[in-house]
Amino acid sequence: MGMMKEFKEFAMKGNVVDLAVGVIIGAAFGKIVSSLVEDVITPLILKPALEAAHLSKLDDFVVFGTVKIGLFISAILNFLIVAFALFLLIKFMNRVKRKEEAAPAAPPAPTPTEKLLVEIRDELKKKG
Protein backbone atom coordinates (compact mmCIF):
# COMPACT_ATOMS: atom_id res chain seq x y z
CA MET A 1 0.00 0.00 0.00
CA GLY A 2 2.92 2.37 0.65
CA MET A 3 4.05 2.16 -2.96
CA MET A 4 0.59 3.19 -4.22
CA LYS A 5 0.59 6.16 -1.84
CA GLU A 6 4.04 7.24 -3.05
CA PHE A 7 2.95 6.92 -6.67
CA LYS A 8 -0.17 9.00 -5.99
CA GLU A 9 1.94 11.72 -4.34
CA PHE A 10 4.35 11.66 -7.29
CA ALA A 11 1.62 11.74 -9.93
CA MET A 12 -0.26 14.56 -8.28
CA LYS A 13 2.75 16.86 -7.84
CA GLY A 14 2.36 20.16 -9.64
CA ASN A 15 5.21 19.53 -12.08
CA VAL A 16 3.82 16.22 -13.30
CA VAL A 17 0.33 17.64 -13.80
CA ASP A 18 1.74 20.71 -15.56
CA LEU A 19 3.80 18.47 -17.82
CA ALA A 20 0.76 16.36 -18.69
CA VAL A 21 -1.25 19.47 -19.55
CA GLY A 22 1.65 20.75 -21.65
CA VAL A 23 1.92 17.49 -23.58
CA ILE A 24 -1.83 17.42 -24.30
CA ILE A 25 -1.89 21.06 -25.42
CA GLY A 26 1.28 20.48 -27.44
CA ALA A 27 -0.32 17.55 -29.26
CA ALA A 28 -3.39 19.65 -30.06
CA PHE A 29 -1.17 22.54 -31.20
CA GLY A 30 0.76 20.10 -33.41
CA LYS A 31 -2.47 19.10 -35.13
CA ILE A 32 -3.35 22.75 -35.70
CA VAL A 33 0.08 23.42 -37.20
CA SER A 34 -0.16 20.32 -39.42
CA SER A 35 -3.53 21.49 -40.67
CA LEU A 36 -2.13 24.97 -41.28
CA VAL A 37 0.69 23.54 -43.39
CA GLU A 38 -1.39 20.98 -45.27
CA ASP A 39 -4.64 22.92 -45.69
CA VAL A 40 -3.53 26.55 -45.92
CA ILE A 41 0.17 27.04 -46.71
CA THR A 42 0.52 24.21 -49.19
CA PRO A 43 -2.52 25.17 -51.30
CA LEU A 44 -1.82 28.92 -51.19
CA ILE A 45 1.95 29.17 -51.42
CA LEU A 46 3.15 25.86 -52.80
CA LYS A 47 0.31 25.26 -55.26
CA PRO A 48 2.21 26.57 -58.31
CA ALA A 49 5.18 24.33 -57.50
CA LEU A 50 2.91 21.33 -56.97
CA GLU A 51 1.06 21.96 -60.22
CA ALA A 52 4.38 22.25 -62.07
CA ALA A 53 5.31 18.84 -60.65
CA HIS A 54 1.81 17.49 -61.56
CA LEU A 55 0.95 16.77 -57.92
CA SER A 56 -2.21 17.45 -55.96
CA LYS A 57 -0.74 17.21 -52.43
CA LEU A 58 2.67 17.76 -50.93
CA ASP A 59 2.52 14.18 -49.62
CA ASP A 60 2.49 12.91 -53.21
CA PHE A 61 5.94 14.40 -53.89
CA VAL A 62 8.11 11.27 -54.05
CA VAL A 63 11.63 10.93 -55.47
CA PHE A 64 13.05 7.65 -56.81
CA GLY A 65 9.75 5.96 -56.06
CA THR A 66 10.37 5.61 -52.33
CA VAL A 67 11.83 8.84 -50.92
CA LYS A 68 8.88 10.86 -49.62
CA ILE A 69 10.41 14.30 -49.95
CA GLY A 70 7.00 15.96 -49.66
CA LEU A 71 6.46 14.58 -46.17
CA PHE A 72 9.93 15.80 -45.23
CA ILE A 73 9.17 19.31 -46.51
CA SER A 74 5.88 19.23 -44.61
CA ALA A 75 7.71 18.24 -41.41
CA ILE A 76 10.21 21.08 -41.90
CA LEU A 77 7.37 23.58 -42.33
CA ASN A 78 5.65 22.22 -39.20
CA PHE A 79 8.87 22.58 -37.23
CA LEU A 80 9.48 26.15 -38.41
CA ILE A 81 5.96 27.22 -37.52
CA VAL A 82 6.10 25.61 -34.06
CA ALA A 83 9.55 27.09 -33.42
CA PHE A 84 8.37 30.55 -34.46
CA ALA A 85 5.25 30.29 -32.28
CA LEU A 86 7.37 29.25 -29.29
CA PHE A 87 9.78 32.10 -30.02
CA LEU A 88 6.91 34.59 -29.93
CA LEU A 89 5.53 33.07 -26.72
CA ILE A 90 8.90 33.20 -24.95
CA LYS A 91 9.53 36.73 -26.22
CA PHE A 92 6.16 37.82 -24.80
CA MET A 93 6.86 36.10 -21.46
CA ASN A 94 10.28 37.77 -21.22
CA ARG A 95 8.74 41.18 -21.93
CA VAL A 96 6.15 40.67 -19.18
CA LYS A 97 8.86 39.48 -16.78
CA ARG A 98 11.03 42.54 -17.55
CA LYS A 99 8.10 44.89 -16.86
CA GLU A 100 7.53 43.22 -13.49
CA GLU A 101 11.22 43.53 -12.62
CA ALA A 102 11.41 47.14 -13.83
CA ALA A 103 8.68 48.32 -11.48
CA PRO A 104 10.60 49.79 -8.53
CA ALA A 105 9.76 48.40 -5.14
CA ALA A 106 8.42 50.84 -2.60
CA PRO A 107 11.05 51.80 -0.04
CA PRO A 108 10.55 50.01 3.26
CA ALA A 109 8.84 51.91 6.03
CA PRO A 110 11.21 53.28 8.66
CA THR A 111 11.71 51.10 11.69
CA PRO A 112 10.63 52.36 15.11
CA THR A 113 14.28 53.07 15.94
CA GLU A 114 14.68 55.18 12.80
CA LYS A 115 11.48 57.10 13.63
CA LEU A 116 12.79 57.80 17.10
CA LEU A 117 16.14 58.98 15.74
CA VAL A 118 14.36 61.32 13.29
CA GLU A 119 12.34 62.80 16.17
CA ILE A 120 15.49 63.29 18.24
CA ARG A 121 17.24 64.96 15.29
CA ASP A 122 14.30 67.28 14.71
CA GLU A 123 14.20 68.24 18.43
CA LEU A 124 17.94 68.96 18.43
CA LYS A 125 17.51 71.19 15.36
CA LYS A 126 14.79 73.16 17.15
CA LYS A 127 16.97 73.70 20.23
CA GLY A 128 20.14 74.45 18.32
The arithmetic mean of pLDDT across residues 43-67, rounded, is: 75
Phi-psi region of 2 (alpha: psi -120 to 50; beta: other; left: phi over 0): alpha
The listed CATH number (1.10.1040.10, 3.40.50.300, 1.10.1200.120, 3.20.20.100) that belongs to domain 2-127: 1.10.1200.120
Query: What local confidence, expressed as pLDDT, does residue 1 receive?
Result: 63
Q: Specify the higher pLDDT residue, 36 or 14.
A: 36
Whole-structure pTM value? 0.51
Helix (H) or strand (E) holding 20: helix 14-35
Q: Rg of the Cα trace of the chain?
A: 31
Measured in residues, the chain has a length of 128
Q: How far apart are CA 39 and CA 42, in angstroms?
A: 6
Give per-residue pLDDT as tens, 73-98.
878 877 888 788 878 888 888 888 88
